[in-house]
Amino acid sequence: MFGKKKKTEENAAENSIKEETAAERTPDVKKKKALSFVPAIIICALLIAGIVFVTLMILKLDLLPSYLVIAAVLILVGFAFICVAMTWSTKKPVRFAVGAFLSLAMLAGLAVGGFALTKAWETAQKVTSSSALLAEVGVYVNTDDNAATIADLKGYTFGVLKSDDRDDANKALLKVASDLGTTLYVAEYDSVIKLISALYNKEIQAAVLETYHVELLESMEDPEYTDIAELVRLVDVYQVESTLSTISYDVGDIGDSPIKKDEATPAQLGYEDHTFAIYVSGIDSYGAVSVKSRSDVNVLAFINDQTHQIFLVSTPRDYYVNTTVSGQYKDKLTHAGLWGPECSMGTLSNLYDCDVDYYFRINFSGFVDVIDALGGLDISPGEGYPTVHINGEDALLVARDRTYLGGEVDRGSRHMLIISAIINQAISTDILYTYNDVLDAVSDSFDTSVPYDLMSRIIKEQLQSNPSWEIIKYTVKGYGTSDFCYAMGGPAYVLVPNYDTVQVVHDLVRAMERNERIQQPEQ
pLDDT digits over 235-253, tens only? 999 999 887 644 555 555 4
Query: Where on the phi/psi map is residue 493: left (φ > 0), alpha (ψ -120 to 50), or beta?
Result: beta
Helices and strands, number each (H, E), in the chain: 17, 17
Contact 110, 49 (CB under 8 A): no
Q: What CATH number is attached to the domain comprising 408?
A: 3.40.630.190
Does residue 152 fall inside a structural domain? yes
Domain co-membership, 99 together with 145: no
Q: Average pLDDT over the chain, rounded to whole?
A: 84
Does residue 117 fall inside a structural domain? no
pLDDT at 428: 63
Identify the domain boundary among 243, 276, 296.
Answer: 243
pLDDT digits over 103-128, tens only? 999 999 999 999 988 988 888 787 77
Contact 139, 150 (CB under 8 A): yes
Identify the domain boundary among 243, 264, 288.
Answer: 243
Domain co-membership, 32 together with 157: no
Domain co-membership, 202 together with 227: yes
Q: Taking the CA atoms of the chain, what radius of gyration do you get in angstroms?
A: 34
Q: How many domains are contained in the chain?
A: 3
Domain co-membership, 456 together with 355: yes
Does residue 469 fall inside a structural domain? yes
- pLDDT tens over the chain, length 523 residues: 445 555 555 555 555 555 555 444 555 555 555 556 788 888 899 999 999 999 999 999 888 888 989 999 999 999 999 999 998 877 788 888 999 999 999 999 999 999 988 988 888 787 777 667 889 999 999 999 999 999 999 999 999 998 778 889 999 999 999 999 999 999 999 988 899 999 999 999 999 999 989 888 887 777 777 787 788 999 999 999 887 644 555 555 455 678 888 888 898 999 999 999 999 998 876 666 778 888 888 999 999 999 999 999 999 999 999 998 887 889 999 999 988 888 999 999 999 999 999 998 888 777 888 888 888 888 876 667 778 888 888 888 887 776 656 666 677 788 888 888 888 777 665 665 566 667 666 677 778 888 888 888 888 888 788 888 899 999 999 999 999 998 888 888 999 999 999 999 999 999 999 999 999 998 7
Does residue 17 fall inside a structural domain? no
Does residue 330 fall inside a structural domain? yes
Q: What DSSP string runs through 451-492?
A: -HHHHHHHHHHHHHH-PPPEEEEEE--EEEEEEEETTTTEEE
Does residue 497 fall inside a structural domain? yes
Domain co-membership, 235 together with 328: no
Helix (H, G, I), strand (E, B) or coil at 205: coil
Bridge pairing between strands 470-475 and 309-314: parallel
Contact 228, 140 (CB under 8 A): no
Domain co-membership, 80 together with 202: no
Predicted TM-score (pTM) of the model is 0.81
Domain co-membership, 239 together with 257: no
Domain co-membership, 332 together with 228: no
Identify the domain boundary among 189, 224, 243.
Answer: 243
The DSSP secondary-structure symbol of 232 reads: E
Domain co-membership, 332 together with 481: yes
- What distance in Å separates the CA atoms of residue 506 and residue 298, rounded to the nearest whole number? 16
Give all strands (DSSP E) within 284-425, no chain letters: 295-304, 309-314, 320-321, 331-332, 358-363, 377-379, 388-390
Does residue 34 fall inside a structural domain? yes
Domain co-membership, 349 together with 317: yes
Q: Tell the burial category of 219 from Cβ atoms under 10 Å away from its Cβ (0-12, 13-18, 19+).
A: middle
Domain co-membership, 144 together with 95: no
Q: What CATH number is attached to the domain comprising 238?
A: 3.40.190.10
Residue 84: domain span = 23-108
Domain co-membership, 488 together with 420: yes
Does residue 15 fall inside a structural domain? no
